[in-house]
Structure 1
C-alpha cells in the first residue's frame, strides 16, 4: 500500500493501531471470562460489564466531539491510550494481590470505555490532517483492514492467551497494546497547529452545530442515517444468528465457529479493495453500490438450511461484511472531506452517537421478534430492514455530493 510505504507518520499510526485493536480483542474475552470464573458473576452482571464499555459513547459522545474540536488531537489520542492502559492495569494487579471485585471491573470498564470514546472520535478528526483529504480512502482502508484482521483472528488468539495465562494475566496483553499505540502516536513528527481560542464557547451551542451539520449536509446526513439503520437491523440479526444456526439449521458449535471465519475474510477483502473500488466507480457511487449489494446479500441469510443451502449463509454473510467494509471506508472518507476541519470531532461524535444508540434496541427487538415470530422469520425482518436502509442513499442530492467532494479535494 502506497500510503504505508511513503508516509512515515501514517505508518507509525498504523503500527500502533494494529496491536491496540488486538489488545481490544483480548479484552472482549478476558473480562467476561474473569468475571464469570474468578468472581462467579451472574449473567446480569456479565451483561452489565459489556454495557458499561459502550455506555460512555451515549453519555459523553457529543460533548467529547465538541471538546476535541477545541484542542490538538494527537496529544488527546496519546492520553486516551495511556488512560486505557492505566485503568486496565488495575485488573491483573488487583487479582495478584487478591482484592479484585466485580465493582472494580465495572469501574475499569467504564473508564476504559470513556477513553475509547475519546480516542475514536479524535482519531476520525485527526486523520484528515495527518494524511491530507486526498488520501483518506486509502488511510481509512488501512485502518479498517486492521479492524477486520484483528476481529477475525483476535477471538481465537485471545482464547488461547486466556487458556495459557488465565483471564486476569491475559489483560496485560491489552495494557501492552494500548501502551504500544501511545508510544507510536507519540513518535509522529507532523506538527499539528495550535487551535486559536474562540472568543466565547458554549458546549450546548457547539454540540448543536455538530448535529446541524451532520443532519443538514445531504451526503453526511444520508450516510449517517444509513449507518444508523444498518446498525439497528444488523444488531437484530446478530442477537439471534447463533441461535438460528444452532437450533433451526442444526449446526454444531464447532461448525458455527468455522462459518464465522467467512465474514471476517469478507471484511478484510472489502477494506483491502475499497480504495480501488472508489477510484473506479467514484466514491459516492461506491457507497451507493456497496449499500445496495449489502442489502441484497443479506437476504440470502434467512434462506440458510442444512446441506447445500448452507451456502446461502456463507455467501450472504461474507458479502455483507465485504460491503460494510467498503461502505465504512468510502463513506467515512467522504464525510471527512465534506466536513470543515473545525467541526470534524462533532460530526464524528454525532454519527457515532446515532449509530450506537440503536445497538441495544436492535438486540432487544431481535430477541423479541425471534420469540414471537420464530428465528427464521425474525431474520427475514432484519434482512429486509437492512436492505431497505439503502434508500437513504438514493437521493439525487446525495449523488451530487461527488461534485462537492471534488471541489473539497
Structure 2
C-alpha cells in the first residue's frame, strides 16, 4: 500500500491540515503551561497551599463564567477565525509578560492570577468560535475522523507535554519555560491565518439572544440526554480526581514516580482510543459507540478502590484502570463531539456550545467539593467507590434514549434554531 493511501483523507486537504497543525502545536503548549505556571508560583514566588488554590480558581473561573456571554457574542460575528487569531496573539502576549516581569524582578502572585484568568478567558473565546470554524472546514461525513485526529493530538499533548514542560522548567527555570507556550500560540495564529473557510453568516440579534443557546440545549431531547450524561460524569469524576492522588500516595503507598508512570499509561490509552475511534464508530454506529465509551470510561475506574494486596498487583490494577478508562473517554468524546456538531444549527452554534460547556463545567467544583467532604467523613476508599459507581451510572441517561440506537450522524441543521426532535435511530 502506498504511503499516501495510509494518510487520512482529511489530512490531504490543505485547509484542515493547517487547522489541525495549529491545534496540535497549541495543545502541546497548553500542557507546558499547566506544568510551568504552578511551578513558577511555588519555586519562584514561594506560594503556599492557599495561594495555589487561588491560582487554580483563577484558571477555572473563566470556563464557568464566560462560556454563555462569549458564545452569544461569537454567534453575532462574521469573522470567527479572526477572533481566534486575536485570542492566540493575546494569550502569547500575556504568557510572555511573565518572563519579562521575572527578568525585571517584578513578578508577583497577583500577576500570575491575572494572567491565569485572562488566558483562560481568551481560551473560552477561542473554543466557542472554534466550534463554528470546525464545521466550516469539515463535511458532516468526516466529523468523526476529524474529531479523532484532534483528540489524538490532545492525547499526544497529555503524553509528551508534562515531560517536556518539566524538562524546560529544569533547564530554563519556570518563567522562561513559558516562552515555549507563547511561541505555540503564535504558530497557531500563523496557521489559522493561512486558511479561509466560508464561515456561516452571523446570527441576527433578537430578544432572548443571550439565553437562546441554553434554552435550545434544555429543549432538545438529544442534547439534554448528552448534557445529563456528561454532567454526571463531570460531577463524579471530579469527586474521584480530587482524592485519587491522596489515596494513591497515602493509602496505597505509591511514589510520585510510579504515580506519574500510571498517569502516562492513561495518556497512551487516550492516544490509542483516538486512533481507533473512527473504526469503532463505523463498525457499530454512533449511538452504540457512545454507550461503549461511557462504560469503557467508567467501569475500569472501579479497579482503583478495589486495588489492594501486594504492591505489584496494586500498581497493575491502577495501570489498567488509567489505560482502559482513557481509551473509553476518547471514544465517548469523539462520538458525542461529532453528534453535537451535527445536531446544533449554525445560527446558534457558539451559544449552544457555550451553554453546554457552562452547564458541564458547573458540575466540576461541586464534584470536587463533594469529594473533599465525603472523603473527610466516610474515608477515602468508600468515597472512591461512590465516585466510580456514579461515573458508571452516567450511561443510564443514554441507554433508554433514541441516541443509544443511532447508527449515523443526523443531517446538520444549517439555519433553523428551533430544537427539533431527537434524531431517529436507524435500526440494524
How high is the TM-score relative to the length of structure 1?
0.94
Contact 1:125 / 1:341 at 8 angstroms: preserved in 2? yes
Q: Secondary structure at the match of 1:201?
A: coil
1:213 to 213, 216, 222: 216
Between the aligned partners of 2:117 and 2:327, the Cα distance in structure 1 is 31
Correspondence for 2:130 among 123, 141, 154? 123
In structure 2, how many angstroms separate the alpha carbons of the residues matched to 1:174 and 1:404? 36
How many pairs were matched up? 405
Note if 1:182 corresponds to 2:219. Answer: no
Match of 2:69 in 1: 63
The yes-or-no answer on 1:370 pairing with 2:348 is: no
- d(CA) in 1 for partners of 2:408 and 2:329? 24
Give the 3 Å change call, closer, same or farther, for CA 113–197 of structure 1 in structure 2. closer
Give the 3 Å change call, closer, same or farther, for CA 197–231 of structure 1 in structure 2.
closer
Residue 81 of structure 1 contacts residue 179 of structure 1 at CA under 8 Å; is this kept in 2? Answer: yes
Partners of 2:213 and 2:352 within 8 A in 1: yes
Q: Helix, strand or coil: the match of 1:260?
A: helix
Q: Aligned in 2, Cα 1:197/1:21: closer, same or farther, shift over 3 Å? A: closer
- How big is each residue's C-alpha offset from its partner over 1:327-365, in whole Å with a ceiling of 9 and x where there is no partner? 101101111101111111111111111111111122222
Q: Distance in 1 between matches of 2:154 and 2:293?
A: 19
Structure having the larger proportion of residues in helix: 1
Residue 265 of structure 2 is matched in structure 1 by: 262
Residue 66 of structure 2 aligns to a residue in which SS?
Answer: helix
1:30 match: 36
Q: Is residue 339–residue 409 contact of structure 2 (8 Å, CA) maintained in 1? A: no
Closer/same/farther in 2, CA of residues 368 and 2 from structure 1, 3 Å limit: same
C-alpha root-mean-square deviation of aligned residues, in Å?
1.8
User: Is 2:57 the counterpart of 1:51?
Assistant: yes
Q: What SS does the aligned partner of 1:192 have?
A: coil
Aligned-partner SS, 1:41: coil
What TM-score comes out, normalization by structure 2 length? Answer: 0.90
Q: Deviations over 1:107-151 (max 9, x none)?
A: 111111110001112112221111122211111111111111111
Instruction: Identify unmatched segments of 5+ residues in structure 1.
Output: none
- The answer to whether the 8 A contact 2:29-2:185 is kept is yes
The alignment status of 1:240 with 2:243, answered yes or no, reads yes
Q: Which runs of 5+ in 2 are unaligned?
A: 1-6, 415-428
The corresponding residue for 1:9 is 15
Name 1:171's counterpart in structure 2. 178
Could you report, residue by residue, the CA deviation over 1:386-407 in whole angstroms, capped at 9, with x for unpaired residues?
0111111112333465577158
Separation in structure 2 between the aligned mates of residue 388 and residue 5 of structure 1, nearest angstrom: 37
Contact between 2:344 and 2:413, CA under 8 Å: does it hold in 1? no
Give the Cα–Cα distance (whole angstroms) in 1 for the partners of residues 409 and 259 of structure 2. 45
- Alignment counterpart, residue 90 of structure 2, candidates 83, 91, 95: 83
Deviations 1:71-99 (A, max 9, x none): 13211211111111111111111111111
Give the Cα separation in 1 of the matches to 2:334 and 2:227: 13
Q: 1:408 to 1:65 in 2, by over 3 A?
A: closer
Instruction: Give the counterpart of 2:115 among 108, 115, 126.
Output: 108
**Per-residue deviation at 1:408?**
6.4
- Given that 1:3 and 1:138 are in contact with CA atoms closer than 8 Å, whether structure 2 keeps it comes out as no
Structure 2 SS opposite 1:251 = coil
For the 8 Å contact 1:136–1:333, the answer to whether it is kept is yes
SS at match of 2:197: coil
